[in-house]
């Protein structure tokens, strides 16, 4: 369908050398977009169309933007983030601040830099912010992470309002339980817990990273031209009903 074609579009996908970000970048490429990938300098060697930059550095956003050449992206997918939590009574300020800096602050200022460039060039664009079902439902021993993902859900709404006059749409995707390098440890070590969740997920399985690509292409494309300020939950039906607690 023509409205889903991203030919002649340029996208930046943060945190896209593995996991969900890699799948989103590949989906955008398959739809015709030129894609800038981004990862940590410790993850992979330098290669074409991949920017290696630690977004936790004080000038991380500025350095990332400076490393891109050619036309500025008109599509931005804010996917970079991670989980550093410990139980609430053991949480320290440094870990809390690291979570909020990586998961929220860098996305906020990256969208700002993206929007400043597009508005100066009088070009429309689209932003997709990757949050989580944790932005709607709390999880045990996940306080800082949950707070950060809830902030991203509101970021979608408030930035959609701020950027509408510049013809820049802002939407989000909230994945549920997805098999990624970040979740591999507990999914491999706790098969009983995986089976518990599979019983609660309406579609009967944990998600795969490729399950998210179509949603990202849609929100970036002209097919979603009248959609802004929305977060699309992609969780196989996990959050439709109550999960309750799990006893090992």
The domain 2-234 belongs to what CATH superfamily?
Answer: NAD(P)-binding Rossmann-like Domain (3.40.50.720)
Check pLDDT > 70 for residue 243. no
Catalytic residue among 149, 197, 200, 215: 149
For 93-148, what is each residue's pLDDT tens digit?
A: 999 999 999 999 999 999 999 999 999 999 999 999 999 999 999 999 999 999 99
Question: Is the distance from CB of 229 to CB of 170 less than 8 angstroms?
Answer: yes
Question: CA 85, CA 108: separation in Å to the nearest integer?
Answer: 21
The percent of residues in the chain predicted with pLDDT above 70, rounded, is 96
Question: CA 181, CA 175: separation in Å to the nearest integer?
Answer: 15
Average pLDDT of the segment spanning 22-49: 90
Say what the pLDDT of residue 244 is: 53
Catalytic residue among 16, 131, 142, 145: 145
Check pLDDT > 90 for residue 183. no
Element (H, E) at 220: helix 213-220
Cα–Cα distances in angstroms (integers) from residue 111 to residues 65, 108, 138, 143, in the given order: 11, 5, 26, 25
Q: Which region among 65-74, 180-189, 212-221 has the lowest average model confidence (pLDDT)?
A: 180-189
Check pLDDT > 70 for residue 26. yes
Question: Is the distance from CB of 38 to CB of 68 less than 8 angstroms?
Answer: no
Say what the pLDDT of residue 24 is: 98
Catalytic residue among 16, 131, 132, 148: 132
HSE of 224 in the Cβ direction (CA atoms, 13 Å)? Answer: 26
The SS3 call for residue 164 is helix
Say what the pLDDT of residue 190 is: 86
Active site residue 132: yes
Residue 59 buriedness (CB in 10 A; 0-12 / 13-18 / 19+): exposed
**String of DSSP letters for 53-68:** --TTSTTHHHHHHHT-
Active site residue 145: yes
Active site residue 149: yes
Average pLDDT, the chain: 93
- Does 124 or 44 have the greater pLDDT score? 124
Element (H, E) at 43: none
Average pLDDT of the segment spanning 221-236: 98
Check pLDDT > 60 for residue 245. no
For 45-85, what is each residue's pLDDT tens digit?
A: 767 789 999 999 999 999 999 998 888 899 999 999 999 99
pLDDT grade for 246, boundaries at 50, 70 and 90: low
């Amino acid at each position: 369908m023509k409205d889903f074609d991203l030919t002649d579009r340029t996208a930046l996908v943060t945190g896209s050398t593995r996991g969900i970000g890699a799948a989103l970048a590949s989906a955008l490429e398959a739809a015709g977009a030129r894609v800038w990938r981004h990862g940590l300098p410790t993850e992979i060697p330098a290669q074409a169309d991949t920017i290696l930059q630690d977004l936790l550095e004080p000038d991380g956003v500025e350095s990332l933007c400076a490393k891109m050449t050619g036309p500025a992206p008109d599509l931005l997918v804010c996917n970079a983030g991670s989980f550093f939590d410990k139980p609430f009574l053991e949480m320290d300020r440094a870990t809390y601040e690291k979570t909020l800096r990586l998961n929220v602050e860098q996305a906020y200022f990256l969208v700002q830099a993206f929007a400043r460039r597009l508005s100066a060039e009088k070009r429309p664009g689209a932003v997709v912010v990757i949050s989580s079902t944790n932005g709607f439902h709390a999880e045990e021993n996940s306080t800082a992470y949950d707070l950060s993902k809830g902030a991203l859900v509101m970021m979608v709404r408030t930035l959609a309002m701020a950027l509408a006059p510049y013809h820049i749409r802002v939407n989000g995707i909230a994945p549920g339980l997805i098999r990624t390098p970040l979740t591999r440890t507990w999914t491999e070590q706790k098969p009983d817990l995986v089976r518990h969740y599979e019983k609660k997920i309406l579609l009967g399985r944990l998600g795969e990273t490729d399950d998210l690509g179509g949603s990202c292409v849609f929100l970036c494309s002209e097919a979603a031209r009248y959609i802004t300020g929305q977060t699309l939950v992609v969780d196989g039906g996990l959050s439709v009903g109550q999960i309750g607690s799990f006893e090992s």
